[in-house]
Amino acid sequence: MIKVLVNGAGGKMGSEVVRSVVQEEGLILVGGVDPKDSGRDIGDLVGIEKKGIIVEHQLSDALKNSKPEVVVDFTSPAIIYENAKMVLGAGINMVIGTTGLTAAQRDDLAQICTETGANCLIAPNFSLGAVLLMKVSTEIVKYLPNVEIVELHHNHKLDAPSGTAKLTAEKMAAARVLEPDADETIESLSGVRGGRYENIPIHSIRLPGYVAHQEVLFGGYGEILTLRHDSLDRKSFMPGVMLACKKVMTTKGLVYGLENYLE
Ligand code: NAP
């Protein structure tokens, strides 16, 4: 049984992870951290039967007290880098769903993994459909280089653009062989053409009602090809998170993107 601790256990994603871990064969929940819910039984916190595991206030205490083999982190872009340095620095494996880590920070964390022997998966998106959308996009962009991304999320999401949109852009930029047409539009209102990442425009929509959605639009001459993925329920991320908790035990070093665990 792989011992799992959930950081951000009271959050929208973290509570879903807690409920999934307790049902998953081969995994055992040993701890949870969430400052505002510390002191509560983790089962009570996520709406299941009591588990006899008290939610901790500090990640550092939880690592000492529950001795996890894997820490799953769904907290906040503001604290994920410090969390990851602490966990990986202690030689403990980590599955990171929290978005917001920069490429330079990922490099630092990879170096820590090399030094301590910890393994780590950073996945901006754990849903199979979203991973497949990225994979197909990298094929299409070879033929249709004019592309834009629209990502749509609930209005409580803290960062923009989404980690998935950035990873999709990175992968397409690496795969794109033909030059896209020059964008000669002059914005009369700053930002209306979106933000450019890897020379691909990304447009972020934030509205109540959305969960997590992404469109990739390819323009050709007299044709448009649109791919769209919709995560309608946070349960869609759970098979990927459970798989990651198991594979991170044996997949060496730091890996970026769930697709690398599927191949
Ligand atoms: P959320 O509901 O706000 O949950 C975050 C949780 O972390 C909250 O309970 C928060 O507590 C807690 N927290 C804050 N500071 C903490 C600390 N120092 N130690 C431990 N826990 C702390 O957000 P969410 O929707 O679950 O999303 C969390 C992250 O996952 C975001 O970055 C989001 O973009 C990302 N995400 C990734 C995927 C994916 O597939 N990779 C899917 C969905 C979301 P408070 O409420 O007290 O602040």
Phi, psi values for residue 6, rounded to 5°? -110, 120
Locate 32 and state its tokens.
């949870």
Expressed in angstroms and rounded, the spacing between residue 54 Cα and the centre of ligand 1 is 19
pLDDT attached to residue 64:
97
Q: Which residues line ligand 1 (CB under 6 A)?
A: 7-8, 10-14, 33-36, 59, 74-77, 79, 97-99, 123-126, 157, 212, 237
* Residue 60: pLDDT band with limits 50, 70, 90: very high
* Residue 49: pLDDT band with limits 50, 70, 90: very high
Is 235 tagged catalytic?
no
Tell the residue number behind the tokens 């920069």, with chain if given.
Answer: 102
Expressed in angstroms and rounded, the spacing between residue 11 Cα and the centre of ligand 1 is 5
0.75 surpassed by pTM = yes
Rg (CA), the chain: 19
Give me the percent of the chain exceeding a pLDDT of 90. Answer: 98
The predicted model gives 86-102 an average pLDDT of 97
pLDDT attached to residue 263:
72
User: String of b and e for 83-97 (b: at least 16 CB within 10 Å)?
Assistant: bbebbbebebbbbbb
Per-state percent for the chain, helix, strand, coil, to nearest 5: 35, 25, 40
- How far out from the chain centre does Cα 5 lie? 17
Task: Give the separation between CA 111 and CA 105, rounded to whole angstroms.
Answer: 10
- Ligand 1 atom nearest the C-alpha of 77 is 32
pLDDT tens string 227-240: 999 999 999 999 99
Amino acid at 226: T
- Ligand 1 atom nearest the C-alpha of 79 is 18
Locate 178 and state its tokens.
């033909």
- How far out from the chain centre does Cα 178 lie? 29
In the set 3, 36, 157, 252, the catalytic residue is 157
Tell the residue number behind the tokens 């990873």, with chain if given.
Answer: 167
Task: Give the separation between CA 57 and CA 131, rounded to whole angstroms.
Answer: 33
Task: Give the separation between CA 131 and CA 126, rounded to whole angstroms.
Answer: 7
For the cut 90, the answer to whether the pLDDT of residue 197 exceeds it is yes
Provide the residue count of the chain: 263
Expressed in angstroms and rounded, the spacing between residue 30 Cα and the centre of ligand 1 is 19
* Residue 101: pLDDT band with limits 50, 70, 90: very high
Is 157 tagged catalytic?
yes
Task: Give the separation between CA 235 and CA 13, rounded to whole angstroms.
Answer: 9
Give me the percent of the chain exceeding a pLDDT of 70. Answer: 100
